[in-house]
Structure 1
Amino acid sequence: MKNFFNRVWGFFRSERFVSILSALLCGVIAVPALPPYGYIFTLFIAFSGLIILLDRAKSAKRAFALGYAFGFGFFSVGLAWVSNALLTEGMGFAALAPLPPIGFGIWGGFFPACVCLVAYKAKEGWRRIAVFAAAWGVSEWVRAWLFTGFPWNLIATVWTPYPEMLQTASVWGAYGLSAFTVFSVSLCSLLYRKNLPEKGSASWMPGAYSKTTACVLALIFGAFALFGVNRLKDNSLLPDDNIRGIKIRLVQPDIPQGQKWNKAQAEEMLMKHVHLSREKGAETLTHVIWPETATQFLLEQDEFARAMAINALKPGAVLITGGLRIEKDKAPLNPSFPFKLYNSILVFDDAGYLLAKYDKSHLVPFGEYAPLRSTLPFMKKFTPGAVDFSSGDGVKTVNMKRQLPVGMLVCYEVIFPAEVVDEDNRPYWLLNVTNDGWYGNSAGPYQHFAAAQMRAVEEGIPLVRAANTGISGVIDAYGVVRASLPLGTKGFLDTGLPRRTPNPTLYARFGNVIPLGLFAVVLLLAFFFPASSKKVSGENV
């Protein structure tokens, strides 16, 4: 027994444990750089620290473990707010609240682990940093489609409070901006080089490239800021340069998630939207926009509820609302419910006619459907209702008479780069309706809003966002927030519609070809140089 405790104590005191724990802490330290906190300096500490630990790794196995520890810390803490959904009143899943952060950490850790494994093969110094950054960009791209995809908290979103630094996303998208950011902040690892005498002294000494590195950092950030400043000089950024004849009202009812699906309050919740829609100034509105699943009623079938809803409109206006929609299902999984259920956006005119509809296509696993339910009938989702949502036909531009073509996105469909616009029919504006009430007053809604900013810059198209509990707002084609309603407030926002950029951005034209091509070039060039000579250790991780 004594030997066992000695081994355990020895492990916790070992350099191996300390380095992995340090990598875990580096991942946690990176989180405050994300919205809503914005402490970007923490990225310099986090990524430089990880590179230094990687330089000291004695085996590929250790490098993988360091990356995994970093990713576990970054994703488990950065996505801890997801647990709020399980704490919603009446859900009955409070006991499971610790599981999402742990699950995201276990899942997310593999991406930085693979990045570190690739970077370990490169020569130490700027080559390794370049490989690390390019591999990080590739890992974010993979994260966007693997297992249906979840590209949340891309590193690029740390720049959303600073529109000048966002503008390069119009060229290489969020993945390119993420890689550039990771490369830049990781260069700080060259400012100091570890002095490792035979006995493993922990002393530090200035690196030979300190001045050069500092100058390179200043030039990089200066050049990117200058590019952004010049791009923001475009005339379409003027506050009064909106599309003429359009006045939009965004309704933010701020209905707590615990009340939203209470059948006894269904009519009350609907009227809450109507009253906000008819407040002062409604006479000049052309569009009234409600958030995702604004009402429990099936507005296509329920004439009484539809009549109540269009009471929100003045003559000539249209109502765009998130809502549930059903269609007859020829082969239902549940015979007691022979319909397909959609999470949709519905457009009604002032007479109650359905002008257009859009069905959400990128559904949330376990939130809107239970994966593999047809094979594993016991699988269930964590949200109310026994019926899974069906997927729509995909991204499309909705065209209506006397209306500008609009690209519609429901909830987290907005987080996927290069997947928000119909390339063959470019819309004049994007609409994102969402219900972030699941997550309360947490970081989640801010991070969701930041993703919407990124899509606007990438595509050069303004984005209008209506959210149940916030954040509702209007983002112009350059990612600048023109107006918004704070999280957790009830109200409405009257706004114009900014213009899209005169021409599609480079990213809108070529998509991920540009960033992925750059990553491939960096990786190929870096590996033309010989790998650093390392004495491979046989110790286990």
Structure 2
Amino acid sequence: MMTGLQPLTGRGRYIPLRSGISFMAGGLTVLALPPFSWLIVFPVAFSALFLMLRQVSAAPAFFIGWVFGMGQFGFGVSWIAESFYVDSERFGALAIPAVAGLSAGLAIFPGMAAMLFAAIMQRRAFGGIAAGLLFATCWVVTEWLRGHILTGFPWNLAAYALVERAALRQPAAWVGSYGLSFLTVFIGLLPGVLIVAAPNRRVPVLVLFAVAVTGLWVGGALRSGQDVPPTDVALRIVQGNVPQVEKWVPGSRQRALEKYLGLSAQPGRFDVLLWPETAFPGFLDEDAAARARISAALPDGRILLTGAPDRVEGDGGTRYFNTVQAYDGTSEILTGYAKHHLVPFGEYVPLRGWLPIERLTEGLGDFTPGPGPRTLAIPGAPLVAVAICYEIIFPGHVVDDLFRPDWIFNATNDAWFGTSIGPEQHLASARMRAVEEGLPVVRAANTGISAIIDANGNVVARLDTGETGTIDAGLPGARTPTPYARFGDWTLLVLVFGCWVFGWLASLLGRDPDARHFGTEVS
């Protein structure tokens, strides 16, 4: 049965045509994200998806949304293939199937958003602004689920299209990245709402678009314009630029140590020395000679935070951890942090008893997760939270809520992904964590991108991919705890509820005539 507008194509060609457009629209979203950040393509992509879902029932809507996700993730996470070519003899043949399989799985979430939207529209036809609110709500619900189900993978959230705009990214301090995704998608699809709006409803849509964009911009500009006093702590970040293919070969440990010690010894003052994830490719706490050389290179009162694997013997055997360890001139470990959010198939194999698959990284066994976010107290520096590599992509799961730090150290090794777009996208996540928490984020990356990010998400210093060198700079200051830091994703619920109350109040002014433009066409 058909209601509302009729298709311009025959029934047999209807879904393939819309799916093809949806795939291209999904691919376009990648251009809105770093390193491209062509924000103009975002409303094009989401308005197109919104229009493709008109008059479609739940099952075809899921397929259209899934195809959109295949474009979105097929291009957006294509850089993962690079990691398989580090050991191409063993894993190279899996690169394309792995990216395709991951993209197909992640695409389920946009498919779910589209299906949920279509299913609700079948039961109660919304029009105009209400339809836009419904779609944005469905999108952010499934985006949140993507960040939590099966350990989660909140990569390239819609909000990250705004990361290069200082004012527009600031609302993440109030509603987090998921809340900013809701606003970004809603504003992005308003051009699509405008296209199908009845003539007498187009002015309100235009007014809402202008008010929403202006409000975000002005509010964000006021926040980003507030000065945050810097600290008097001097940092030195070392980017050794050791290729991943060389990192674990026999004899590489001493060469890596020599390189990091040489860069660390350059003239200049620092209070805290920062090396990246697994900068020392071995068990540093077990290597007294290496620790002695490091301690000799540390001026009195100076601290090193470095990534290094660790192992602990127990009744159940040996457990391995991916850690950041703190050392001073005594050569003894002061404190440490164990990564708690591990990378599936990179640091452990899920369902190892059932899946005959090797993990991609070198090592004697799967890593064991640490207990969770932790704040470290180190001499001569403000309290610090540590997020190792992948952990920085998770909104609201980086900082210990009971013991707030003054800054976040993100030790990472993006050498796995070469010169692809992956490291730029990873940096975008770190910048959004800085805004959400109101804390500076300091990144030490093996091959880049190392950076110092202030509490407003501005990159104040960086070393690009493939560069060898150091960053000497002061530690930026922290802001007071943001609403998102205090309440987490509850702010998202308040935002969505508030927007729906606004939509309901607007509907009281009269029946929305645009609802007739959203019917059910195919089942």
Q: Residue 403 of structure 1: CA displacement? A: 3.3
1:359 lines up with 2:333 in the alignment:
no
Q: Residue 536 of structure 1: CA displacement? A: 4.5
Aligned to 1:4: none
Cα pair distance change 1:90/1:217, threshold 3 Å? same
For 2:270, which of 272, 285, 301 is the aligned residue?
285
Aligned to 1:326: 311
By relative contact order (CA 8 Å, sep 6+), the higher-ranking structure is 2
- Is the contact made by 1:135 and 1:519 (CA closer than 8 Å) also made in structure 2? no
Aligned to 1:254: 241
5+ residue gaps, structure 1, are: 1-9, 195-205, 333-338
- Is the contact made by 1:371 and 1:379 (CA closer than 8 Å) also made in structure 2? no
CA displacement, residues 167-210 of structure 1 (integer Å, 9 cap, x when unaligned): 1111000001011000001000033239xxxxxxxxxxx95544
For 2:482, which of 498, 505, 528 is the aligned residue?
505
CA distance in 2, matches of 1:64, 1:280: 59
1:176-215 to 2 correspondences below 5 Å: 176-193=179-196, 208-215=200-207
Aligned to 1:475: 453
SS of aligned partner of 1:101:
helix
Q: Residue 216 of structure 1: CA displacement? A: 2.4
Residue identity opposite 2:331 in structure 1: G
Aligned to 2:493: 516
1:62-73 to 2 correspondences below 5 Å: 62-73=60-71
Residue identity opposite 2:172 in structure 1: A
- Is the contact made by 2:174 and 2:484 (CA closer than 8 Å) also made in structure 1? yes
SS of aligned partner of 1:28:
helix
- Is the contact made by 1:131 and 1:526 (CA closer than 8 Å) also made in structure 2? no
SS of aligned partner of 1:482:
strand
CA distance in 1, matches of 2:411, 2:482: 24
Q: Residue 537 of structure 1: CA displacement? A: 4.8
Cα pair distance change 1:111/1:90, threshold 3 Å? closer
Cα pair distance change 1:12/1:263, threshold 3 Å? farther
Aligned to 2:4: none
Aligned to 2:385: 407
Residue identity opposite 1:213 in structure 2: V
Aligned to 2:295: 310
CA displacement, residues 317-365 of structure 1 (integer Å, 9 cap, x when unaligned): 1111000111113213xxxxxx111100010002212111100010000
SS of aligned partner of 1:134:
helix
Aligned to 2:5: none
CA distance in 2, matches of 1:436, 1:536: 47
CA displacement, residues 473-512 of structure 1 (integer Å, 9 cap, x when unaligned): 11111111111111211100001011111x2111111010
For 2:225, which of 233, 237, 242 is the aligned residue?
233
- Is the contact made by 2:175 and 2:495 (CA closer than 8 Å) also made in structure 1? no
- Is the contact made by 2:302 and 2:380 (CA closer than 8 Å) also made in structure 1? no
1:46-85 to 2 correspondences below 5 Å: 46-57=45-56, 59-85=57-83
SS of aligned partner of 1:162:
coil
Residue identity opposite 1:254 in structure 2: N
For 2:146, which of 143, 147, 152 is the aligned residue?
143
- Is the contact made by 1:340 and 1:389 (CA closer than 8 Å) also made in structure 2? yes
**With structure 1 as the length reference, what TM-score do the two structures score?**
0.88
User: Which has the larger displacement, 295-304 or 12-21?
Assistant: 12-21
1:490 lines up with 2:468 in the alignment:
yes
- Is the contact made by 2:271 and 2:381 (CA closer than 8 Å) also made in structure 1? no
Aligned to 2:328: 349
CA displacement, residues 84-121 of structure 1 (integer Å, 9 cap, x when unaligned): 00011456211111123211221112111111122222
Residue identity opposite 1:297 in structure 2: G
CA displacement, residues 135-161 of structure 1 (integer Å, 9 cap, x when unaligned): 211212111110011101011111111
1:457 lines up with 2:435 in the alignment:
yes
SS of aligned partner of 2:285:
coil
Percent of pairs identical after alignment? 35
Aligned to 1:23: 22
Residue identity opposite 1:516 in structure 2: L
CA distance in 2, matches of 1:210, 1:524: 21
SS of aligned partner of 2:74:
helix
- Is the contact made by 1:129 and 1:187 (CA closer than 8 Å) also made in structure 2? yes
Aligned to 1:36: 35
For 2:257, which of 270, 274, 282 is the aligned residue?
270
Cα pair distance change 1:305/1:50, threshold 3 Å? same
Q: Residue 446 of structure 1: CA displacement? A: 0.5
Aligned to 1:441: 419
Cα pair distance change 1:328/1:434, threshold 3 Å? same
Residue identity opposite 2:66 in structure 1: Y
CA displacement, residues 226-276 of structure 1 (integer Å, 9 cap, x when unaligned): 11111122221xxxx4212x1110000111111111122220111101100
- Is the contact made by 1:462 and 1:474 (CA closer than 8 Å) also made in structure 2? yes
1:423 lines up with 2:405 in the alignment:
no
CA distance in 1, matches of 2:333, 2:404: 23
SS of aligned partner of 2:167:
helix
User: Which has the larger displacement, 312-321 or 398-407?
Assistant: 398-407
1:157 lines up with 2:157 in the alignment:
no
- Is the contact made by 1:341 and 1:388 (CA closer than 8 Å) also made in structure 2? yes
CA distance in 2, matches of 1:61, 1:524: 29
CA displacement, residues 458-486 of structure 1 (integer Å, 9 cap, x when unaligned): 01111111000111111111111111111
For 1:300, which of 269, 275, 285 is the aligned residue?
285
Cα pair distance change 1:536/1:185, threshold 3 Å? closer
Aligned to 2:351: 372
Cα pair distance change 1:62/1:526, threshold 3 Å? farther
SS of aligned partner of 2:478:
coil
- Is the contact made by 2:55 and 2:522 (CA closer than 8 Å) also made in structure 1? no
User: Which has the larger displacement, 408-417 or 109-118?
Assistant: 109-118
Cα pair distance change 1:325/1:95, threshold 3 Å? same
For 1:242, which of 230, 234, 245 is the aligned residue?
230
- Is the contact made by 1:446 and 1:471 (CA closer than 8 Å) also made in structure 2? yes
SS of aligned partner of 1:426:
coil
5+ residue gaps, structure 2, are: 1-8
1:224 lines up with 2:207 in the alignment:
no
- Is the contact made by 2:320 and 2:368 (CA closer than 8 Å) also made in structure 1? yes
Aligned to 1:6: none
Residue identity opposite 1:260 in structure 2: K
Aligned residue-pair number: 503
SS of aligned partner of 1:364:
coil
**With structure 2 as the length reference, what TM-score do the two structures score?**
0.91
Cα pair distance change 1:478/1:537, threshold 3 Å? closer
For 1:133, which of 129, 132, 136 is the aligned residue?
136
CA distance in 2, matches of 1:319, 1:139: 41
CA distance in 1, matches of 2:139, 2:104: 18
